[in-house]
Structure 1
Amino acid sequence: MDTRGGRPVKVIVEADGGSRGNPGPAGYGAVVRDHRTGETLAERKGFVGVATNNVAEYQGLIAGLRAAGEVGAEVVEVRMDSKLVVEQMSGRWKIKHPSMQPLAREARQLADGFDRVAYEWIPRERNRQADRLANEAMDDAKQDQQDKQPQQAEGAKQPHWSGAVGEPTRLILLRHGQTRLSVERRYSGRGDHPLTELGLEQASRAAQRLSTVEDIAAIVSSPLQRATQTAQKLADAVGLDVVTHQGLIETDFGAWEGLTFAEAARQDPDVHRRWLGDTSVKPPNGESFDEVHARVRKARTDLIAKYGGKTLVVVSHVTPIKTLLRQALDVGPQFLFRMHLDLTGVSIAEFYPDGHASVKLVNDTSHLG
């Protein structure tokens, strides 16, 4: 053990937090290890109450720093699988959400008591001991969680101002970043094209922006690479896995795949002209917008059945996102031809269990500067 006067000079703090419901019953865990030997010097765990993953992660950090101080450490290396906390505490990301600002201040005050504190992101599998402690804390409080559930259910019955009843499923809709076909303005449907360098940067900026959302329960993506690459940036930032759903894939443009607008119009002038105004018309060997509408509706039903009342980030393409917005607004098919969506544009639609819906945001690209 690296010690000075019997005290460890440098320690590693591994911290984690979790929420079952996000927000939901939450707990944290923290481990203090000797930097040289890896020996466990202290463990901490605790139940936070109803909170988000991010709040629980900060509580784990605070508990770990306190424990490091108690064992007399002078230099601390913090390792966490929350990219959000690591980046914010390192000063690279701003702390915008009000609920996290006081926690970050408390953590910084504790950090100021050491000679030096460094922060490192690690994969979840390298943070198993802290994760175990966080889950133990939540398991220990399971009865409290069960006691609170009837109150939450009762509160969910209060009507929305529009008359909607119940907790809405909130879909944060994110279009993927730039691909080569985006640059060349070509039809890009089922072709599996990766993001460009700019597309990866756009995805990173979108991830930084959405990582401040407090209550993301899942990240659901189209299976196409340009969408999953965009989704993975956010997943890395918030510590979630990317789930794919085939129903969120882009329109099958058939014989027009890879063509420009002008090339498709020259190749199939009559079909192309009718396709621009009639959602039942298919591109040759392709898929109509009516067919897209049906499968996106089914995908929406699947997501609400699995994540009802929670917040999801849905990473997809122009047509599926337009379709979800159209369904939320309950408007006709002409909406598809009059709505523009930018690369990594963010929209928000909420779907209530009684059939009501509302659109809160459309095509916001403020994160791109």
Structure 2
Amino acid sequence: MSVGKVVVEADGGARGNPGPAGYGAVVRAAGSGEVLAERAESIGVATNNVAEYRGLIAGLEAAAELGAAEVEVRMDSKLVVEQMCGRWQIKNPGLRPLAAQAATLVRRFDSVTFGWIPRERNRHADALANAAMDRAEGKPVKAPKAAKPAVEPPAELGREPAEAPAADPSARARAREIAAQGSTARSSWEPRPASTATRLLLVRHGATELTAQRRYSGRGDVPLAEAGVAQARAAAARVAELAPSVAAVVSSPLSRCTATAELIARAAGGAPVVTEDDLIECDFGDWEGRTFAEVRSQWPAEMDAWLASPAVAPPGGESFNAVTKRVRRAVSTLLKTYPGETVAVVSHVSPLKIALRDALAAGDAFLHRLYLDPAGISIVDSWPDGGVAVRSVNDTAHLPRD
């Protein structure tokens, strides 16, 4: 299922502040107000603000699962709205990782706006949160009645509308800033057990004939060259050294990746190989099989536009923004499917650069500045609360030298 624009109504509460807490979230179709998804959960003892952030995160996750491109978030929590819009600082260290997790989710959509609404217009999400708390306390629970969607736009807070379009560069920068704040507070300075992280070993496939000629190699199913097979074997041995146990080897469906993945799986003691279409290389369209110089000569304006913006696609091809959507979907699925485990991910230059850009909360210029060698390995750890640690990037010490 895929939808265009949705409205997320989210709330959370605690009976005692802190006290027994829970959250609720509703996802509606933007046009009709039809309820597309509901989320609710008791979260033990927490504060109101923690529960409200958890409601926001649950609503954004549900919107992402529905394939939404645009999201309008409506909440009666002035604190969460103002902090996500960047007008209020996040002074409570306990909220930073939650804000970072929400900011990471925001970047998965084409645009996200945040708006404050009065509590009476957020009754559905509030009822879901209270039902979750009642259920945890063993009280009788009635299914929350779906309230009619509010047709009025979110109210203004003070003189400025409480909205922050994520498509706007400043809002995207804020999302990266929040993510960086959260990961720095929890990952860099606070020791954390690696055993609780999901570790992704990001491996670029071995070289092909097009790699050696420095030609654009996208959707064409080009096999590994002889040198590429040797590189893949070396990467497989390195993965076996790095990870005593690999839950799975997840690969792009193209043969240069699956051949690399099979060698890694064999070295890792027979781990299963799973193909994932979302990990396929960018479609370079008319540039497929051509060198950078050839493209620069024949498509100079198109090349300049492509280098300037991830929203621009090569003629007949795919933009980096489009690749980003599916890579984020793939990473999210991996983190949910293999919590606390190690997974080898075999893919191509573009998907791996995007995964590393997101992990580092870097800007889009990163995509054209990072170089990834054939069979190079990068390591990213991710924790359930949104914390991320990039352990290495493009490790090539294991590769045979000419």
* Shorter-chain TM-score range: 0.5 to 0.7
2:306 match: 275
The one-letter code matched in structure 2 to 1:203 is A
Correspondence 1:208 to 2:248: no
Larger Rg: 1
1:24 match: none
Q: CA deviation at 1:161?
A: 5.9
Q: Which of the residues 163, 169, 186 maps onto 2:198?
A: 169
State the distance in 2 between where 1:311 and 1:193 align.
Answer: 28
2:257 match: 227
Q: How does 1:299-318 map to 2 (within 5 A)?
A: 299-318=330-349
Correspondence 1:182 to 2:206: no
Correspondence 1:293 to 2:324: yes
1:242 match: 273
Correspondence 1:356 to 2:383: no
Q: CA deviation at 1:245?
A: 0.6
State the distance in 2 between where 1:161 and 1:337 align.
Answer: 26
Q: Which of the residues 202, 217, 221 maps onto 1:192?
A: 221
State the distance in 2 between where 1:161 and 1:325 align.
Answer: 17
Q: How does 1:13-162 map to 2 (within 5 A)?
A: 162=189
Identity across the alignment (%) = 50
CA contact (8 A) 1:165 1:352 kept: no
1:11 match: none
The one-letter code matched in structure 1 to 2:245 is D
Q: CA deviation at 1:293?
A: 1.1
Q: Which of the residues 357, 370, 394 maps onto 1:339?
A: 370
Unpaired segments ≥5 residues, structure 1: 1-158
Q: Secondary structure at the match of 1:172?
A: strand
The one-letter code matched in structure 2 to 1:177 is G
186 and 160 in structure 1: CA distance in 2 versus 1, 3 angstrom threshold: closer
Q: Secondary structure at the match of 1:170?
A: strand
CA contact (8 A) 2:198 2:382 kept: yes
Q: Secondary structure at the match of 1:216?
A: coil
State the distance in 2 between where 1:161 and 1:317 align.
Answer: 28
Q: CA deviation at 1:160?
A: 5.6
Q: Secondary structure at the match of 1:366?
A: coil
The one-letter code matched in structure 2 to 1:252 is D
1:266 match: 297
Unpaired segments ≥5 residues, structure 2: 1-185
State the distance in 1 between where 2:395 and 2:198 align.
Answer: 20
CA contact (8 A) 1:165 1:354 kept: no
State the distance in 1 between where 2:340 and 2:318 align.
Answer: 32
Q: CA deviation at 1:329?
A: 0.8
Q: CA deviation at 1:277?
A: 2.1
State the distance in 2 between where 1:274 and 1:161 align.
Answer: 36
Q: Secondary structure at the match of 2:398?
A: helix
163 and 291 in structure 1: CA distance in 2 versus 1, 3 angstrom threshold: farther
Q: CA deviation at 1:267?
A: 2.1
2:176 match: none
CA-atom RMSD in angstroms: 1.6
State the distance in 1 between where 2:396 and 2:346 align.
Answer: 15
The one-letter code matched in structure 2 to 1:244 is T
Deviations 1:175-216 (A, max 9, x none): 000101001111000000000111101111111121222121
The one-letter code matched in structure 2 to 1:361 is S
Q: CA deviation at 1:289?
A: 0.8
State the distance in 1 between where 2:235 and 2:342 align.
Answer: 16
State the distance in 2 between where 1:203 and 1:261 align.
Answer: 25
CA contact (8 A) 2:198 2:338 kept: yes
CA contact (8 A) 1:164 1:354 kept: no
Q: Secondary structure at the match of 2:286?
A: helix
2:38 match: none
CA contact (8 A) 2:187 2:387 kept: no
Correspondence 1:321 to 2:352: yes
The one-letter code matched in structure 2 to 1:259 is R
Deviations 1:20-62 (A, max 9, x none): xxxxxxxxxxxxxxxxxxxxxxxxxxxxxxxxxxxxxxxxxxx
State the distance in 2 between where 1:274 and 1:298 align.
Answer: 26
State the distance in 2 between where 1:233 and 1:244 align.
Answer: 14
The one-letter code matched in structure 2 to 1:171 is L
State the distance in 2 between where 1:329 and 1:351 align.
Answer: 12
CA contact (8 A) 1:217 1:310 kept: yes
State the distance in 2 between where 1:165 and 1:241 align.
Answer: 29
CA contact (8 A) 2:187 2:388 kept: no
State the distance in 1 between where 2:187 and 2:317 align.
Answer: 41
